[in-house]
Amino acid sequence: MRNYHLEYKVLIEDLAPLVHAQRAENLRKKLLIQWPHIDVLSAFYTHSEINDYLDSLLERFPKRVQVKQFGWSYERRPLKVLTITNGDGRRNKPVILIDGTVHAREWISPSMALYIIQQLLDNYGDNQELLQDYDWVIMPVVNADGYEYTHTDSRYWRKSRRPTSNPECIGTDINRNFGYEWGHDEGSSSDPCENIYRGERPFDQSESQVLRDVMLHYKGRLNFYLSLHSYGNYFLLPWGYTSDFPDTYQDMMSVADAGAKAIIYSTNGIYSYGSTYYVLYPTSGDTTDFAFGVVNATVAMTMELPAAGFQGFDPWISQIERLVTESWVGVRAMAAEVIRRYPS
């Protein structure tokens, strides 16, 4: 930087002690947990701990939950999906599908998914209207291998863990690997060493195949697809690959508007919303474009939760409650708007 006469400021000399301190705090907090029941607000949980928790819900809510394994990650971790109903036995209701942890380092994403689960199950009395005519399908961890790697080796890892054609560069960005308008150089990369590497071909990652299959399983019933990411305070709509707008763009904007207004009324949190291409940056082969363009989801959206911690992806445990409770206000309002607009 000095050679090029660029001004800079060192914010932290060594990030490792902070990462180690966060990891140690997380482990201490989890010693207090009464497994398999977990406290979403008290710790960040590994993929296996989350799966054990999902399985435990079958015993607690046998008439209202189903757990299904849709496949395996590259490193053979089971990828599980939870379905929540109101227990009335009605079949083929419209579906709200939520996924988390497409990007490994975004730990608040699975926390948010778990918080939604607890609101719909443990706090059912306050939220039963959200389940009267809709089922909720939630996949807390898509990128299980990458997520595990952030807990054990590299906290800020983003991609999957499957080797690439370059032995020096591991992993593919799952959110550039979906087979709708895949392969644009604007919004993805053909270089395996880049964080937005799209893979050699669409769906060449086990994890993207599983999420694709989950989406297609609910084709014809999928009224709201929501992918949880961090960070940025955004509601991102199709399209990511082009500056054009889909025909139902204004309808989706109305749903995003409901979420943004609910949050600002509740916490003064400010969300920007609109086309991914314009609001954030171009993307190619992402999950939201696939959900809308191929699965025909009525509303498809990526939610970028607020930043926290040193790099934005690394909130302290003490920040979980603020992040997930504010975000739930928005998710709940958007779900209610979808249910109102598209009754079963």
Of the chain, the end-to-end C-alpha distance in Å amounts to 59
Q: Give me the torsion for CA of 251, 307, 326, 53, rounded to 10°.
A: 100
Give the CB-side neighbour count of residue 215, counting CA atoms within 13 A: 28
Cis bond upstream, residue 202 (ω within 30):
no
Contact 68, 78 (CB under 8 A): no
The CA angle 200-203-209, to the nearest 5 degrees, is 150
What's the DSSP call for residue 307?
P
| Tokens (6 digits) for 142 | 């898509």
Q: Which residues are catalytic?
A: 304
Beta strand extents in 51-209 (DSSP E only): 65-72, 78-84, 95-100, 135-139
Torsion sign over Cα 78, 83, 87, 90: negative
Q: Give me the torsion for CA of 18, 100, 301, 233, rounded to 10°.
A: -20
Q: Give me the torsion for CA of 211, 170, 159, 162, rounded to 10°.
A: 20
C-alpha distances in angstroms, 196 versus 71, 111, 240?
24, 24, 14
| Tokens (6 digits) for 22 | 């966060």
